[in-house]
């Protein structure tokens, strides 16, 4: 379906007329419309429209300026809507249909009730009970925010009662004011932000209106102020599109060294163009923040019906109190999810098939994020909110990993020296998860990286730990639900124990493992199958090394390596801001014995200090670098709060 036309509107409108201004009812259902097809300039000519049917389309949002101020009935069932704040432009709306939108939750129902004072029916049901619930919540939240205002202002000296201090109040209210069940926290925090911003704007003159019901004329804010207040979906979980000042496109920095250093002339240098440097994790969006530590990134699983080889260009990054979801091509931050007081260390994606209330099957990307608090947050990315929290560990979670064969199975590895396998389950109709614990794996030191064995992911799990590389039997048909390490791998023959940290671990193909940390200046490629065959009944086994790759001689730790198995690529950053790229296909194809000499990288990428950000970065370490499966986009994270995105040509 292309853009709407006046002719189509007149064909589908009632009563029949050759003038758009006379149409009172319009049926646009089942036209496969996308959001961009709703032309505000055209639709605003429907001056008398009272009933609009947009059901059974593919709308993700509604434009904010449709100009349909007389609309009384709106049907939007069976779309892909993820936000309801645009409905505030229909102040006369009495009936609304939203069933079959898989990304809407009970919080959105409450928002709709708040935004539309004249609403009588939602999804064919009376809206009065929801309206009463919203009024009660709003009255209590207004009272609590007011009390917080008085306490906050009393603590300030006269010279501190300035604009900055009042902005601090909004942040403190969002952080500290809580009321109602956890399942409604999205709505309550959304209202807390609005109420606190209204208090700041009025200088506290509205503090005595807390007891007036929300829908009475005296307490209801004007539609214009509501429209401005609800421009953001969440106070803490904001889908943030960074302005050009915050999202620096790096054409001035395109003079980047791509240094091919491999001696093998059959391995030419890859052509990688820097697209963007971003500071999207800055605390309070402060461009001066060069201290927030970025820890991990992961590309969204690529999935298009009928196109199994689809390329993902969406990457999730975590660091500080935020998780960001970024479109690599444009550099736009599609979503930003924040948890004040948290420090996120790891993210992992899975793709679930969910069935909507209308019986439709939808593919749904879920992002798991975890860190300092030991909790896993399951994020509904397209809708921009948290739909489940797993209180997984009592100490911080170092890393996460979904099973490649079971989309709901999630491994969490913690500083409590445990790895736990969870089944997060499939969300219910309110898009809430109920996770269950399947296995507990005990470690002798902190697990830093976890990796299901590529050839038998349902049977064995590898983990790189502070004291070495370990393996567990994770078969669920075995009776023990708590298990100890079955095998420890060492990286030098004749050694009884490794005693060396393994802080990098990934499979290059179904058999070959890349690991780092067991010796200075090298990345080790070793064979899982040959090592496992040689095990016998031993609990400590020397790995069968296939090759060693030359890497930085630094003694610093926790530089995470990654691989592109389909492309035979190994990637790793270093302490100087370099990205080491190894095309190891020629190594994988060689017959043993392989050369004992260190294999040089195919290429080392360097880039200048990103001065376009307005800062001089004296020290930049690339601690994480990840590429999507087709090696089209590469994302690197630095210790100076910079996300770098590259594209291969």
Q: How confident is the model at residue 268 (pLDDT cuts 50, 70, 90)?
A: low
Which CATH number do you get for residue 290?
2.130.10.10
CA angle, 348 as apex, 346 and 350 as ends, to 5°?
165
Look at residues 172, 202, 232 and tell me which one is the last residue of a structural domain: 202
- Within a domain: 221: no
Write the DSSP assignment of 246-306 as a string of letters. Answer: TEEE-GGG----EE---S-TTSPPP-EEEEEEE-TT-GGG-TT---PPEEEEEEPPP-BTT
Beta bridge pairs of residue 506: 514
Number of domains in the chain: 3
Which CATH number do you get for residue 86?
3.80.10.10
Which distant-in-sequence residues (6+ apart) come within 8 Å of 122 by Cβ?
95, 96, 97, 98, 109, 112, 113, 130
Q: Are residues 97 and 149 in the same domain?
A: no
What is the chain's mean pLDDT, rounded? 81
Look at residues 123, 143, 178 and tell me which one is the last residue of a structural domain: 123
Residue of higher predicted confidence among 142 and 619: 142
Q: Are residues 61 and 81 in the same domain?
A: yes
Please report the pLDDT score of residue 174 as a whole number: 86
Q: Are residues 581 and 552 in the same domain?
A: yes
Please report the pLDDT score of residue 187 as a whole number: 87
Name, of 240-249, 351-360, 556-565, the range with top average pLDDT.
556-565
Q: Are residues 644 and 532 in the same domain?
A: yes
- Within a domain: 513: yes
Look at residues 123, 144, 170 and tell me which one is the last residue of a structural domain: 123
Residue 1 has pLDDT above 50, yes or no: yes
Length of the chain: 649
Segments of 149-271 assigned E as strands? 247-249, 258-259
- Within a domain: 154: yes
Write the DSSP assignment of 47-102 as a string of letters. Answer: TT--EEE--SS--S---TT---TT--EEE--SS-----GGGGG-TT--EEE-TT-T
Residue 630 has pLDDT above 60, yes or no: yes
Q: Are 48 and 68 in contact (CB under 8 A)?
A: no
Q: Are 552 and 601 in contact (CB under 8 A)?
A: no
- Within a domain: 280: yes
Q: Are residues 496 and 531 in the same domain?
A: yes
Mean pLDDT computed over 192-215: 65
Ranking 42-46, 164-168, 309-313, 457-461 by mean pLDDT, the lowest is 309-313
Q: What is the pTM of this model?
A: 0.61
pLDDT (tens digit per residue) in 107-152: 888 899 999 989 999 988 888 878 888 888 888 899 899 988 888 8
pLDDT (tens digit per residue) in 221-230: 333 333 333 3
Query: How far is it, in rounded angstroms, from Cα 66 to Cα 228?
Result: 16
Q: Are residues 40 and 138 in the same domain?
A: no
The phi-psi region of residue 212 (left if phi > 0; otherwise alpha if psi is between -120 and 50; otherwise beta) is beta
Q: Are residues 133 and 119 in the same domain?
A: no
- Within a domain: 250: no
Query: How far is it, in rounded angstroms, from Cα 374 to Cα 598?
Result: 39
Mean pLDDT computed over 448-466: 95
Domain enclosing residue 198, as ranges = 129-202
Q: Are residues 530 and 440 in the same domain?
A: yes
Q: Are residues 61 and 104 in the same domain?
A: yes
Q: Are residues 320 and 194 in the same domain?
A: no
Closest by CA position to 87, among listed 95, 330, 189: 95
Q: Which helix (H) or strand (E) holds 400?
A: strand 397-402
Q: Are residues 94 and 161 in the same domain?
A: no
Phi and psi (nearest 5°) for 619? -145, 125
CA Rg value for the chain: 28
Closest by CA position to 376, among listed 333, 325, 330, 423: 423
Residue of higher predicted confidence among 157 and 154: 154
Query: How far is it, in rounded angstroms, from Cα 474 to Cα 454?
Result: 13
- Within a domain: 358: yes
pLDDT (tens digit per residue) in 54-104: 999 989 889 888 889 889 999 999 888 888 999 999 999 999 999 888 778
Query: How far is it, in rounded angstroms, from Cα 497 to Cα 67?
Result: 72
- Within a domain: 314: yes
Residue of higher predicted confidence among 472 and 245: 472
Q: Are residues 146 and 295 in the same domain?
A: no
């Amino acid at each position: 379906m292309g853009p709407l036309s006046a002719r189509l509107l007149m064909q589908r409108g009632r009563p029949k007329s050759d003038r758009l201004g006379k149409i009172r009812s319009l049926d646009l259902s089942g036209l496969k419309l996308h959001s961009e097809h709703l032309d505000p300039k055209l639709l605003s000519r429907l001056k008398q429209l009272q009933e609009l049917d947009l059901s059974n389309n593919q709308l993700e949002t509604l434009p904010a300026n449709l100009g349909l101020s007389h609309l009384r009935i709106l049907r939007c069932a069976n779309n892909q809507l993820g936000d309801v704040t645009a409905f505030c432009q229909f102040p006369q709306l009495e009936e609304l249909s939203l069933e079959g939108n898989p990304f809407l939750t009970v919080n959105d129902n409450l928002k709709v009730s708040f935004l539309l004072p004249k609403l009588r029916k939602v999804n064919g049901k009376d809206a009065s009970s929801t309206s009463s619930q919203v009024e009660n919540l709003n009255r209590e939240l207004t009272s609590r925010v007011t009390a917080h205002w008085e306490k906050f202002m009393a603590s300030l000296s006269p010279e501190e009662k300035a604009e900055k201090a009042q902005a601090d109040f909004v942040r403190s209210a969002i952080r500290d004011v809580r009321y109602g069940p956890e399942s409604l926290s999205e709505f309550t925090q959304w209202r807390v932000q609005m109420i606190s911003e209204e208090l700041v704007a009025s200088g506290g003159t509205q503090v005595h209106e807390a007891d007036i019901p929300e829908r009475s004329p005296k307490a209801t804010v004007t539609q214009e102020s509501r429209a401005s207040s609800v421009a953001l979906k969440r106070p803490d979980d904001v889908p943030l599109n960074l302005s050009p000042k915050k999202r620096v496109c790096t054409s001035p920095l395109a003079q980047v060294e791509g240094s091919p250093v491999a001696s093998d002339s059959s391995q030419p240098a890859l052509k990688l163009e820097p697209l963007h440097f971003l500071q999207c994790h800055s605390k309070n969006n402060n461009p001066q923040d060069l201290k927030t530590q970025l820890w991990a990134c992961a590309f969204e699983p690529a999935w298009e019906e009928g196109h199994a080889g689809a390329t993902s260009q969406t990457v999730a990054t975590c660091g500080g109190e935020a998780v960001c979801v970024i479109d690599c091509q444009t550099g736009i931050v599609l979503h930003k999810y924040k948890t004040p007081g948290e420090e996120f260390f790891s993210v992992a994606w899975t793709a679930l098939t969910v069935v909507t209330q209308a019986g439709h099957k939808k593919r749904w990307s879920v992002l798991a994020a975890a860190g300092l608090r030991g909790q896993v947050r399951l994020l509904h990315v397209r809708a921009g909110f948290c739909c489940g929290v797993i209180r997984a560990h009592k100490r911080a979670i170092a890393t996460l990993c979904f099973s490649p064969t079971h989309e709901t199975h999630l491994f969490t590895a913690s500083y409590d020296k445990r790895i736990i396998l969870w089944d997060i389950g499939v969300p219910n109709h309110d898009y809430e998860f109920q996770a269950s614990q399947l296995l507990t794996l005990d470690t002798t030191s902190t697990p830093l990286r976890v990796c299901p064995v590529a050839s038998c992911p349902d049977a064995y799990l590898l983990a790189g730990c502070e004291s070495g590389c370990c393996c567990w039997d994770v078969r669920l048909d075995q009776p023990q639900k708590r298990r100890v390490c079955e095998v420890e791998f060492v990286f030098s023959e004749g050694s009884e124990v490794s005693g060396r940290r393994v802080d990098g671990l990934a499979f290059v193909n179904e058999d070959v493992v890349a690991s780092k940390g067991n010796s200075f200046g090298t990345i080790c490629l070793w064979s899982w199958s040959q090592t496992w065959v040689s095990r016998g009944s031993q609990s400590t086994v020397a790995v069968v090394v296939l090759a060693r790759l030359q890497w930085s001689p630094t003694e610093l730790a926790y530089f995470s390596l990654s691989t592109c198995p389909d492309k035979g690529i190994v990637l790793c950053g270093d302490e100087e801001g370099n990205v080491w790229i190894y095309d190891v296909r020629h190594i994988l194809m060689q017959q043993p014995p392989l050369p004992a000499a260190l294999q040089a990288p195919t290429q080392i990428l360097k880039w200048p200090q990103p001065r376009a950000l307005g800062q001089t970065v004296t020290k930049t370490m690339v601690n994480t670098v990840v590429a999507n499966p087709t090696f089209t986009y590469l994302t690197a994270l630095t210790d100076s709060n910079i996300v770098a995105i590259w594209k291969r040509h």
